[in-house]
Amino acid sequence: MSTPPLPPPPATTAEGFLPVGDGHEIFWEESGSADGVPTLYLHGGPGGRLTPGYRRQSPAGRARVIGVSQRGAGRSVPGAGAPGAVDLSTNTTAHLVADLERLREHLGVTSWVVQGVSWGSTLALAYAQAHPERVLGVVLFAVTSTSRREVDWITEGVGALYPEAWDALASVAETHGGFDRRDRSSQRLRLVEAYRRMLTGPDGALVDHAARAWMTWEDAHIGIGGGGPAQPHPVEGDRSVSEYERGFARLVSHYWAHDGFVADWAGDWGASPGAGLLGGMPRLAGIPGVLIHGRRDVSGPALTAWELHRAWPDSELVLVEEEGHGGPLMVDAWREALGRLLG
Protein backbone atom coordinates (compact mmCIF):
# COMPACT_ATOMS: atom_id res chain seq x y z
CA MET A 1 0.00 0.00 0.00
CA SER A 2 1.43 3.37 -0.99
CA THR A 3 2.08 6.08 1.58
CA PRO A 4 -0.36 8.99 1.26
CA PRO A 5 1.28 12.24 0.15
CA LEU A 6 2.25 14.70 2.85
CA PRO A 7 0.25 17.91 3.10
CA PRO A 8 2.03 21.05 1.91
CA PRO A 9 4.06 22.75 4.63
CA PRO A 10 2.51 25.83 6.24
CA ALA A 11 3.26 29.07 4.43
CA THR A 12 5.57 31.62 5.99
CA THR A 13 3.93 34.57 7.75
CA ALA A 14 7.00 36.82 7.95
CA GLU A 15 10.61 36.86 6.81
CA GLY A 16 13.58 39.17 6.61
CA PHE A 17 17.32 39.74 6.81
CA LEU A 18 19.09 40.68 10.05
CA PRO A 19 22.54 42.35 10.00
CA VAL A 20 24.72 40.55 12.56
CA GLY A 21 28.12 42.17 12.02
CA ASP A 22 31.24 41.28 10.04
CA GLY A 23 29.34 42.13 6.84
CA HIS A 24 26.85 39.27 7.35
CA GLU A 25 23.06 39.35 7.15
CA ILE A 26 21.19 36.23 8.19
CA PHE A 27 17.86 35.25 6.65
CA TRP A 28 14.99 34.30 8.94
CA GLU A 29 11.41 33.22 8.40
CA GLU A 30 8.34 32.59 10.54
CA SER A 31 5.31 30.35 10.19
CA GLY A 32 2.61 28.99 12.44
CA SER A 33 0.74 30.97 15.07
CA ALA A 34 2.02 34.42 16.07
CA ASP A 35 0.84 33.86 19.66
CA GLY A 36 2.09 30.27 19.91
CA VAL A 37 5.11 29.01 21.84
CA PRO A 38 8.24 30.20 20.00
CA THR A 39 10.33 27.41 18.48
CA LEU A 40 13.68 27.82 16.74
CA TYR A 41 14.72 25.44 13.94
CA LEU A 42 18.43 24.95 13.12
CA HIS A 43 19.28 23.23 9.85
CA GLY A 44 22.08 20.77 9.23
CA GLY A 45 25.34 20.97 7.36
CA PRO A 46 27.12 23.11 8.32
CA GLY A 47 26.11 24.87 5.14
CA GLY A 48 22.66 23.34 4.69
CA ARG A 49 19.53 25.33 4.00
CA LEU A 50 15.97 25.77 5.17
CA THR A 51 13.73 23.22 3.48
CA PRO A 52 10.00 23.86 4.03
CA GLY A 53 9.29 20.43 5.51
CA TYR A 54 10.51 21.45 8.96
CA ARG A 55 7.45 23.68 9.32
CA ARG A 56 5.20 20.58 9.37
CA GLN A 57 6.66 19.18 12.59
CA SER A 58 5.22 21.73 15.05
CA PRO A 59 1.61 21.28 16.25
CA ALA A 60 -0.77 23.45 14.25
CA GLY A 61 -1.95 26.53 16.09
CA ARG A 62 0.36 26.00 19.08
CA ALA A 63 3.78 27.12 17.82
CA ARG A 64 5.41 30.24 16.48
CA VAL A 65 7.93 28.53 14.21
CA ILE A 66 11.16 30.42 13.45
CA GLY A 67 13.74 29.15 10.97
CA VAL A 68 17.11 30.74 10.26
CA SER A 69 19.77 30.33 7.59
CA GLN A 70 23.12 30.26 9.34
CA ARG A 71 26.00 32.54 8.30
CA GLY A 72 27.09 31.88 4.75
CA ALA A 73 24.31 29.33 4.18
CA GLY A 74 20.99 29.28 2.39
CA ARG A 75 19.62 32.75 1.73
CA SER A 76 21.96 34.50 4.17
CA VAL A 77 24.49 36.85 2.62
CA PRO A 78 27.25 36.77 1.67
CA GLY A 79 27.04 33.13 0.69
CA ALA A 80 30.02 30.87 1.29
CA GLY A 81 29.65 29.37 -2.18
CA ALA A 82 30.64 32.44 -4.17
CA PRO A 83 33.35 31.80 -6.81
CA GLY A 84 36.94 32.48 -5.76
CA ALA A 85 38.68 32.28 -2.41
CA VAL A 86 36.63 32.95 0.73
CA ASP A 87 37.47 34.19 4.23
CA LEU A 88 35.59 32.18 6.86
CA SER A 89 37.41 33.61 9.88
CA THR A 90 34.19 35.19 11.18
CA ASN A 91 32.14 32.05 10.66
CA THR A 92 32.47 29.95 13.83
CA THR A 93 30.11 28.35 16.32
CA ALA A 94 30.55 31.31 18.67
CA HIS A 95 29.52 33.66 15.87
CA LEU A 96 26.46 31.53 15.08
CA VAL A 97 25.40 31.44 18.74
CA ALA A 98 25.72 35.22 18.95
CA ASP A 99 23.64 35.53 15.76
CA LEU A 100 20.85 33.48 17.33
CA GLU A 101 20.79 35.78 20.36
CA ARG A 102 20.55 38.82 18.09
CA LEU A 103 17.69 37.16 16.24
CA ARG A 104 15.87 36.33 19.49
CA GLU A 105 16.11 39.95 20.61
CA HIS A 106 15.12 41.23 17.16
CA LEU A 107 11.96 39.11 17.12
CA GLY A 108 11.03 39.94 20.71
CA VAL A 109 11.26 36.35 21.92
CA THR A 110 11.83 35.84 25.66
CA SER A 111 12.57 32.12 25.44
CA TRP A 112 12.00 29.35 22.95
CA VAL A 113 12.12 25.62 22.25
CA VAL A 114 15.27 24.91 20.25
CA GLN A 115 15.32 22.11 17.67
CA GLY A 116 18.31 21.05 15.61
CA VAL A 117 18.89 18.50 12.86
CA SER A 118 22.30 16.80 12.38
CA TRP A 119 24.89 19.65 12.60
CA GLY A 120 21.96 21.76 13.81
CA SER A 121 21.87 19.60 16.96
CA THR A 122 25.48 20.62 17.69
CA LEU A 123 24.52 24.27 17.28
CA ALA A 124 21.38 23.78 19.39
CA LEU A 125 23.45 22.33 22.24
CA ALA A 126 26.03 25.11 21.97
CA TYR A 127 23.30 27.75 22.10
CA ALA A 128 21.49 26.07 25.00
CA GLN A 129 24.71 25.80 27.02
CA ALA A 130 25.54 29.45 26.37
CA HIS A 131 22.02 30.73 27.13
CA PRO A 132 20.13 28.13 29.22
CA GLU A 133 17.86 30.82 30.64
CA ARG A 134 16.46 31.37 27.12
CA VAL A 135 15.66 27.71 26.42
CA LEU A 136 12.31 26.09 27.25
CA GLY A 137 13.26 22.71 25.83
CA VAL A 138 15.42 21.03 23.19
CA VAL A 139 14.66 18.51 20.43
CA LEU A 140 17.66 16.99 18.64
CA PHE A 141 17.37 14.88 15.47
CA ALA A 142 20.31 12.80 14.10
CA VAL A 143 22.39 13.87 17.08
CA THR A 144 25.93 15.22 16.76
CA SER A 145 28.33 17.14 19.00
CA THR A 146 31.10 17.55 16.34
CA SER A 147 33.88 16.25 18.58
CA ARG A 148 37.28 15.26 17.17
CA ARG A 149 36.23 11.61 17.50
CA GLU A 150 33.09 12.18 15.43
CA VAL A 151 34.88 14.20 12.76
CA ASP A 152 37.68 11.65 12.36
CA TRP A 153 35.11 8.87 12.12
CA ILE A 154 32.88 10.57 9.53
CA THR A 155 35.81 11.65 7.33
CA GLU A 156 38.13 8.64 7.67
CA GLY A 157 36.93 5.82 9.95
CA VAL A 158 33.63 5.17 8.19
CA GLY A 159 35.66 4.56 5.04
CA ALA A 160 35.99 1.00 6.33
CA LEU A 161 32.31 0.57 5.42
CA TYR A 162 32.54 2.43 2.10
CA PRO A 163 36.10 1.71 0.92
CA GLU A 164 35.49 2.46 -2.75
CA ALA A 165 33.78 5.80 -2.03
CA TRP A 166 36.43 6.78 0.53
CA ASP A 167 39.24 5.87 -1.86
CA ALA A 168 37.82 8.34 -4.38
CA LEU A 169 37.63 11.02 -1.69
CA ALA A 170 41.14 10.39 -0.41
CA SER A 171 42.64 10.22 -3.90
CA VAL A 172 41.64 13.81 -4.65
CA ALA A 173 43.22 14.97 -1.38
CA GLU A 174 46.40 13.01 -2.10
CA THR A 175 46.73 14.39 -5.62
CA HIS A 176 45.93 18.02 -4.85
CA GLY A 177 45.83 18.59 -1.08
CA GLY A 178 48.95 17.09 0.45
CA PHE A 179 47.13 14.26 2.25
CA ASP A 180 49.05 10.99 2.72
CA ARG A 181 46.94 8.02 3.76
CA ARG A 182 50.10 6.09 4.66
CA ASP A 183 51.17 8.65 7.26
CA ARG A 184 50.15 7.41 10.72
CA SER A 185 52.14 9.95 12.75
CA SER A 186 50.56 12.35 15.22
CA GLN A 187 51.63 15.26 13.01
CA ARG A 188 50.00 14.02 9.81
CA LEU A 189 47.70 16.25 7.77
CA ARG A 190 44.09 15.28 8.42
CA LEU A 191 41.96 14.53 5.39
CA VAL A 192 39.40 17.14 6.43
CA GLU A 193 42.11 19.80 6.68
CA ALA A 194 43.36 18.95 3.21
CA TYR A 195 39.83 19.50 1.89
CA ARG A 196 39.41 22.72 3.86
CA ARG A 197 42.53 24.14 2.19
CA MET A 198 41.47 23.06 -1.28
CA LEU A 199 37.92 24.36 -0.91
CA THR A 200 38.87 27.81 0.41
CA GLY A 201 41.84 28.39 -1.89
CA PRO A 202 42.16 30.62 -4.98
CA ASP A 203 42.13 27.87 -7.66
CA GLY A 204 38.51 27.86 -8.83
CA ALA A 205 38.85 24.65 -10.81
CA LEU A 206 40.34 22.84 -7.80
CA VAL A 207 37.63 24.24 -5.50
CA ASP A 208 34.92 22.76 -7.72
CA HIS A 209 36.80 19.48 -8.18
CA ALA A 210 37.09 19.11 -4.41
CA ALA A 211 33.46 20.15 -3.88
CA ARG A 212 32.29 17.52 -6.35
CA ALA A 213 34.29 14.82 -4.55
CA TRP A 214 33.08 15.96 -1.12
CA MET A 215 29.40 15.99 -2.07
CA THR A 216 29.69 12.51 -3.57
CA TRP A 217 31.23 11.25 -0.32
CA GLU A 218 28.52 12.94 1.79
CA ASP A 219 25.83 11.20 -0.21
CA ALA A 220 27.51 7.83 0.23
CA HIS A 221 28.01 7.78 3.97
CA ILE A 222 24.49 8.94 4.97
CA GLY A 223 22.76 6.56 2.59
CA ILE A 224 21.84 3.75 4.99
CA GLY A 225 18.45 3.74 6.64
CA GLY A 226 16.45 6.36 4.83
CA GLY A 227 18.71 9.42 4.59
CA GLY A 228 18.31 12.75 6.28
CA PRO A 229 15.51 15.27 5.86
CA ALA A 230 17.72 17.58 3.81
CA GLN A 231 20.54 15.35 2.67
CA PRO A 232 23.10 16.54 0.11
CA HIS A 233 23.36 14.90 -3.28
CA PRO A 234 26.39 14.21 -5.46
CA VAL A 235 27.18 16.55 -8.31
CA GLU A 236 26.61 14.76 -11.60
CA GLY A 237 29.68 14.68 -13.78
CA ASP A 238 28.02 16.48 -16.68
CA ARG A 239 27.15 19.73 -14.91
CA SER A 240 28.95 22.47 -13.02
CA VAL A 241 29.07 22.78 -9.26
CA SER A 242 26.39 25.11 -7.90
CA GLU A 243 26.97 27.87 -5.36
CA TYR A 244 25.00 25.85 -2.81
CA GLU A 245 27.16 22.76 -3.28
CA ARG A 246 30.37 24.78 -3.19
CA GLY A 247 29.26 26.61 -0.06
CA PHE A 248 28.10 23.42 1.64
CA ALA A 249 31.43 21.69 1.07
CA ARG A 250 33.37 24.76 2.18
CA LEU A 251 31.44 25.23 5.41
CA VAL A 252 31.39 21.55 6.36
CA SER A 253 35.14 21.16 5.87
CA HIS A 254 35.80 24.50 7.65
CA TYR A 255 33.79 23.54 10.74
CA TRP A 256 34.89 19.92 10.82
CA ALA A 257 38.57 20.80 10.41
CA HIS A 258 38.17 22.86 13.60
CA ASP A 259 36.14 20.14 15.36
CA GLY A 260 33.06 22.33 15.30
CA PHE A 261 34.89 25.10 17.21
CA VAL A 262 33.62 23.44 20.40
CA ALA A 263 36.70 21.63 21.73
CA ASP A 264 37.03 24.07 24.66
CA TRP A 265 33.45 25.30 24.54
CA ALA A 266 32.70 24.64 28.23
CA GLY A 267 36.02 25.85 29.63
CA ASP A 268 34.55 29.06 31.05
CA TRP A 269 31.81 27.10 32.80
CA GLY A 270 34.04 24.87 34.88
CA ALA A 271 34.45 21.82 32.64
CA SER A 272 37.87 20.37 32.01
CA PRO A 273 39.78 21.74 28.99
CA GLY A 274 38.90 19.99 25.76
CA ALA A 275 35.66 18.58 27.16
CA GLY A 276 33.58 20.08 24.36
CA LEU A 277 29.80 20.06 24.45
CA LEU A 278 29.71 16.88 26.51
CA GLY A 279 31.54 18.73 29.29
CA GLY A 280 28.95 21.49 29.24
CA MET A 281 25.88 19.28 29.65
CA PRO A 282 25.42 20.18 33.37
CA ARG A 283 24.42 23.64 32.09
CA LEU A 284 21.18 22.07 30.81
CA ALA A 285 20.00 20.83 34.21
CA GLY A 286 16.26 21.35 34.49
CA ILE A 287 15.73 21.81 30.75
CA PRO A 288 13.74 18.98 29.12
CA GLY A 289 15.17 17.48 25.97
CA VAL A 290 14.54 14.68 23.49
CA LEU A 291 17.39 13.11 21.48
CA ILE A 292 16.20 11.21 18.39
CA HIS A 293 18.73 9.02 16.58
CA GLY A 294 18.79 6.15 14.11
CA ARG A 295 20.56 2.96 15.15
CA ARG A 296 21.72 2.48 11.54
CA ASP A 297 23.30 5.93 11.31
CA VAL A 298 26.77 4.74 10.37
CA SER A 299 28.07 8.25 9.73
CA GLY A 300 27.09 9.28 13.25
CA PRO A 301 27.10 6.24 15.58
CA ALA A 302 24.59 6.24 18.43
CA LEU A 303 27.40 6.53 20.99
CA THR A 304 27.30 10.33 20.85
CA ALA A 305 23.55 10.51 21.49
CA TRP A 306 23.93 8.01 24.33
CA GLU A 307 26.78 9.94 26.00
CA LEU A 308 24.90 13.24 25.80
CA HIS A 309 21.73 11.65 27.17
CA ARG A 310 23.62 10.04 30.04
CA ALA A 311 25.13 13.43 30.97
CA TRP A 312 21.70 15.14 30.78
CA PRO A 313 19.30 13.62 33.34
CA ASP A 314 16.36 15.69 32.07
CA SER A 315 16.62 14.22 28.57
CA GLU A 316 14.93 11.30 26.83
CA LEU A 317 16.75 9.18 24.24
CA VAL A 318 14.73 7.77 21.33
CA LEU A 319 16.68 5.23 19.26
CA VAL A 320 14.92 4.15 16.06
CA GLU A 321 16.29 0.71 15.26
CA GLU A 322 15.52 0.50 11.53
CA GLU A 323 16.60 3.98 10.39
CA GLY A 324 19.84 5.86 9.83
CA HIS A 325 20.55 9.58 9.40
CA GLY A 326 16.84 10.29 9.25
CA GLY A 327 13.68 8.57 8.10
CA PRO A 328 9.89 8.67 8.52
CA LEU A 329 9.81 7.03 11.97
CA MET A 330 12.36 9.51 13.26
CA VAL A 331 10.30 12.36 11.82
CA ASP A 332 7.23 10.97 13.62
CA ALA A 333 9.23 10.95 16.87
CA TRP A 334 10.34 14.53 16.19
CA ARG A 335 6.75 15.68 15.72
CA GLU A 336 5.59 13.84 18.84
CA ALA A 337 8.44 15.27 20.95
CA LEU A 338 7.61 18.83 19.89
CA GLY A 339 3.94 18.22 20.67
CA ARG A 340 4.77 17.09 24.20
CA LEU A 341 7.16 19.97 24.88
CA LEU A 342 4.71 22.55 23.58
CA GLY A 343 1.90 20.94 25.56
Single residue among 236, 259, 282 that ends a domain in this structure = 259
Query: Do 20 and 48 sit in the same domain of this protein?
Result: yes
pLDDT digits (tens, 9 = 90+) for 124-151: 999 999 999 999 999 999 999 999 999 9
pLDDT digits (tens, 9 = 90+) for 88-121: 999 999 999 999 999 999 999 999 999 999 999 9
State yes or no: pLDDT of 261 exceeds 80: yes
Which residue among 95, 221, 254, 325 is the active-site one?
325
Query: Do 31 and 144 sit in the same domain of this protein?
Result: yes
Contact between residue 48 and residue 119 where contact means Cβ atoms under 8 Å apart: yes
Judge whether 314 counts as a catalytic residue: no
Query: Do 17 and 137 sit in the same domain of this protein?
Result: yes
What integer is the mean pLDDT of 27-43?
A: 97
Q: What is the pLDDT of residue 276?
A: 92
Is residue 11 very low, low, confident or very high in pLDDT (cuts 50, 70, 90)?
Answer: very high
The proportion of the chain whose per-residue pLDDT surpasses 90, expressed as a percent, equals 83
Residue 218 inside a domain? The answer is yes
CATH number of the domain bearing residue 121: 3.40.50.1820
Single residue among 259, 282, 307 that ends a domain in this structure = 259
Query: Do 130 and 265 sit in the same domain of this protein?
Result: yes
Q: What is the pLDDT of residue 230?
A: 44
What integer is the mean pLDDT of 42-60?
A: 93
Q: What is the pLDDT of residue 274?
A: 76
Residue 4 inside a domain? The answer is no
pTM for the model stands at 0.94
pLDDT digits (tens, 9 = 90+) for 289-324: 999 999 999 999 999 999 999 999 999 999 999 999
Mean pLDDT of the chain: 92
State yes or no: pLDDT of 1 exceeds 80: no
State yes or no: pLDDT of 260 exceeds 90: yes
Q: What is the pLDDT of residue 2?
A: 54
Q: What is the pLDDT of residue 226?
A: 58
Single residue among 209, 239, 259 that ends a domain in this structure = 259
pLDDT digits (tens, 9 = 90+) for 185-244: 988 999 999 999 999 999 999 999 999 999 999 988 887 765 544 445 555 555 789 999
Query: Do 249 and 275 sit in the same domain of this protein?
Result: no
Which residue among 76, 118, 121, 315 is the active-site one?
118
Residue 56 inside a domain? The answer is yes
Which residue among 297, 299, 309, 315 is the active-site one?
297
Q: What is the pLDDT of residue 3?
A: 58
What integer is the mean pLDDT of 270-285?
A: 87
Query: Do 233 and 295 sit in the same domain of this protein?
Result: no
Judge whether 95 counts as a catalytic residue: no
State yes or no: pLDDT of 252 exceeds 90: yes
Judge whether 325 counts as a catalytic residue: yes
State yes or no: pLDDT of 38 exceeds 90: yes
The total of structural domains in the chain comes to 2
Q: What is the pLDDT of residue 266?
A: 77
